[in-house]
Amino acid sequence: MKKIGMLGGMSWESTSTYYKLLNEEIKNRLGGLHSAKIILSSVDFEEIEKLQHLGLWDETAKILSNEAKAVENANADFLIICTNTMHKVASNIEQNISIPILHIADTTGNELVKDGIKKVALLGTKFTMLEDFYKNRIEDNFDIEVVVPNEKEQDIIHEVIYKELCLGKVNKQSKNEYLKIIERLEKEDEVQGVILGCTEIDMLVQQDSVSIPIYDTTNLHVLSAVDFALIN
């Protein structure tokens, strides 16, 4: 079994989900008392969040690159960045380490292709929805059209992520807002599925709440990491 490197803490709520799912999936596949071999570096999200909203992405890249090096030096065989948004600096991190990074958008794109999805909605932080680092990777590498919510909807989604979900708060009213947005995207933009492009959103929205397929990036990332860890 390869040793999985995790770059987490953004937020710790979603990182704890990663840790739990990784170990459960290893146990499911191998049985007995098996658990995942993991090296985890968990950052202080307060520091990262301030830099994000100031647009100081080079500073975030430096912090995460240093943490990624520490994970590599602890003998991890590969790295997963346990957040969608900070894949914005994945290429910067990649330049500073020699172990591979499993990109969360690639694991999602592969699943979309497998399901024959050609047009998909992307929910996430405003950074993920507005900028090209995630959308373009899906569109260019997998030939899938990516649609994002309108400006008002983006504000709602972003605020709920940072002011509620990252703090472990699950609000019924916020869930209803998200479901309204998904319903509109399905009816007006004719999307065939929805990417939960923030690792906290699965705390709020599950498949049984909507009529079109949901692509939970956390779960897909975990499955890809376990696949890679168990390749001989």
Catalytic residue among 108, 128, 198, 218: 198
83 part of the active site = yes
Strands across the sheet containing 193-196: 145-147, 119-123, 193-196, 214-216
Catalytic residue among 17, 60, 83, 107: 83
85 part of the active site = no
Closest CA to 217 of 121, 150, 147, 130: 121
Q: Which residues are catalytic?
A: 83, 198
